[in-house]
Amino acid sequence: MSEEIRTQETADDHFVKHGGVHFRTHASPQEINNFIRKLPAGKRESLFEVLDQLDQAGMISVINDHVFTDGDGVIAGGEDQSLR
């Protein structure tokens, strides 16, 4: 990963565990949890739908920097990148 991307990350930057999407929070975890609890069931069926709803509400920003994590939280994936 480039050093430029790493230096732009802040304490509010996070990665979704499954899917590895990079995002930045603009609300507390409690506010985000309350918002998600209030979403209609159809808007909570998919992690990406929830992320989209949070993004539209201004509670997070999805960062399209092509930096992802693997299922273990390793940025840019683990050492073994081969498909199994």
Percent of the chain predicted with pLDDT > 70: 56
Highest mean pLDDT: which of 10-14, 30-34, 45-49?
A: 30-34
Torsion over CA of 30, 31, 37 and 42, rounded to 10 degrees? -140
pTM above 0.85, yes or no: no
Count Cβ atoms below 10 Å from residue 21 Cβ, excluding itself. 19
Tokens 């909570």 label which residue? 44
Segment 43-54, tens digit of pLDDT: 999 988 999 999
Any idea where the domains of the chain sit in the sequence?
Answer: 23-66
Rounded CA-CA distance 21/66 in Å is 9
